Amino acid sequence: MPLTIAAVAHDEKKQALVEWAERNAARLRPHKLVATATTGGRLKAALGDLDVTTVKSGPLGGDQQIGAMIAEGKIDLLVFFPDPLTPMPHDVDVKALLRLALVYNVPCAFNAATADLMAQAILPA
């Protein structure tokens, strides 16, 4: 059964998320990705054959949209590459997204190493 995977990355981590998706493209193809606007655009440009739906940019409400999807049971996995060294003006939204992922027990990966492990364990090749 296809899963819905949320993909979010801060500006300095977008390329790392794209590279992760490229490495795991075969595992991702059968599934649906939901991504914030710029991240989703980068994924579509790099891997046009992936099923990627975009929501708004994170600072414009995209983190909250994905959080709402988590609360509604529509997200199966969260791959979120935050930039821990850059202050975010929408930090409150990011914290709300993380809180919802924890409350609803959604498997989460916050770096490439963990995302690779999650993909290998959950997404068949």
Give which of 93, 87, 70 is closest to 5, Cα–Cα: 70
Confirm whether 63 is a catalytic residue.
yes
Q: Given the structure tokens 């739906």, which residue do they identify?
A: 53
Q: Are 54 and 30 in contact (CB under 8 A)?
A: no
Buried b / exposed e over 29-53, threshold 16 CB at 10 Å, is: eebbbbbbebbbebbbeebeebebe
Q: Are 70 and 89 in contact (CB under 8 A)?
A: no
Which among 63, 76, 91, 116 is annotated as catalytic? 63
Catalytic residue annotation: 63
